[in-house]
Structure 1
Amino acid sequence: MSFRKSLPYLLTLAVIAAAAAYLLWIGREPICKCGTVKLWHGETMSSENSQHIADWYTPSHLLHGLIFYGLLWLVARRVPFGWRLLIATLIEIAWEIVENSDAVIERYRAVTISLDYYGDSVINSVADILAMVAGFFLASRLPVWASVALVIGFELLTMWVIRDGLTLNVVMLLYPLDMVRDWQAALPR
């Protein structure tokens, strides 16, 4: 692959590294304060949620990649794949930075049942960005119906298992509903 063709991929790696450096600079924990790094942490109502590599919110980041691919295909399909990947990665990084701002962390704690949420560790944020990248690549290879089925399937799975997911997360962040918060709080622990 020529340098010109590899440039967007190199820039994608560079902006992911820059995002990790920025998150460290603003004081995010590099790894869980517990001192371990787990591949999977499945307990959502825990101070270790969003502190390890993957958790029940990882599927929503994979879905970001599927959705970003579809949207960028609609509005910028003539832009080469690598540059669309870079654009999607920049959007995901912007979300990770906003999500880990004090204002959004406090918003989550005030309007959702995420009382133990203190932001993501840097390793979790980077893993979330990489999950989006995986979803973007996956969407480029799958037929549209399969991407749509994955979005619906992961949303239903996370709603069933943890009473949350991408859709509910956005709704509760932007327009919190007491009935949703009550339903989420009723999940047996």
Structure 2
Amino acid sequence: MTASNRTPYVITALMVVATALILLGMGRVPWCACGVDLWGTVGTSEGSQQFFDWYTPSHLLHGFIFYAILWLVARRMDVGWRLVVAMAVEAAWEILENTDAVIERYREVTISLDYFGDSVLNSVMDMLAMVLGFWLSMRLPVWASVAIVIGFELLTMAIIRDGLALNIIMLLAPLEAIRDWQAAGG
């Protein structure tokens, strides 16, 4: 790989570092005050503070979705540069998701009353999960990518009564029926 071929991957890595620094500057904690663990417990204040949590699969799905969209609209763009675009969107989401306004929105319209934002560690791992999803999309047949997206959505809905689709619905146009169903599981 030549230096010019590496450029988009270096930019992608630098965006992860820049996002981590921005989140620290916003006052996000580097990691959970309770200590570092592999998996955060959903429904607790440390739920999005660890390496991974039950929302990590949704970030993996971001990678599948971003790859598919960019394949459709920017197919001629080098895949490395498509990854840069995907990471720009993911990094922007991590920053936006951890603003006081969005944290309060989650607490207002979802059952995530103990959500206080992600730790920087968790946000970095979410961004890396997106990269993994993007990378898998390049290598797997379309049917396998679709099966993974559907499978992870069903898995998280079954286990924590949430997932990427429900998260989007509840942030943009909350439905009392969904909130009631989610609350009945906790």
Whether 2:137 is the aligned partner of 1:146: answer no
Partner of residue 54 from structure 1, selected from 52, 55, 60: 52
Paired residue secondary structure (1:54): coil
How big is each residue's C-alpha offset from its partner over 1:101-130, in whole Å with a ceiling of 9 and x where there is no partner? 110000000110000001000000000000
| Residue identity in the other structure for 2:20 | A
How big is each residue's C-alpha offset from its partner over 1:35-82, in whole Å with a ceiling of 9 and x where there is no partner? x111122x2110111100101100000000000000000000110011
Return the TM-score normalized by structure 1: 0.97
Return the TM-score normalized by structure 2: 0.99
| Residue identity in the other structure for 1:2 | T
CA distance in 2, matches of 1:84, 1:51: 29
Structure 1 segments (4+ residues) deviating >2 Å: none
Whether 2:57 is the aligned partner of 1:40: answer no
Paired residue secondary structure (1:51): coil
CA distance in 1, matches of 2:82, 2:128: 15
How many residue pairs get matched?
Answer: 186
Task: Say what the alpha-carbon RMSD is for the aligned residues.
Answer: 0.6
Partner of residue 131 from structure 1, selected from 104, 129, 132: 129
Partner of residue 104 from structure 2, selected from 103, 106, 126: 106
Whether 2:88 is the aligned partner of 1:90: answer yes
CA distance in 2, matches of 1:52, 1:44: 11
CA distance in 1, matches of 2:185, 2:50: 22
CA distance in 2, matches of 1:143, 1:37: 36
CA distance in 1, matches of 2:39, 2:104: 25
| Residue identity in the other structure for 1:40 | W
Residue segments in structure 2 that go unaligned for 5+ positions in a row: none
CA distance in 1, matches of 2:39, 2:84: 27
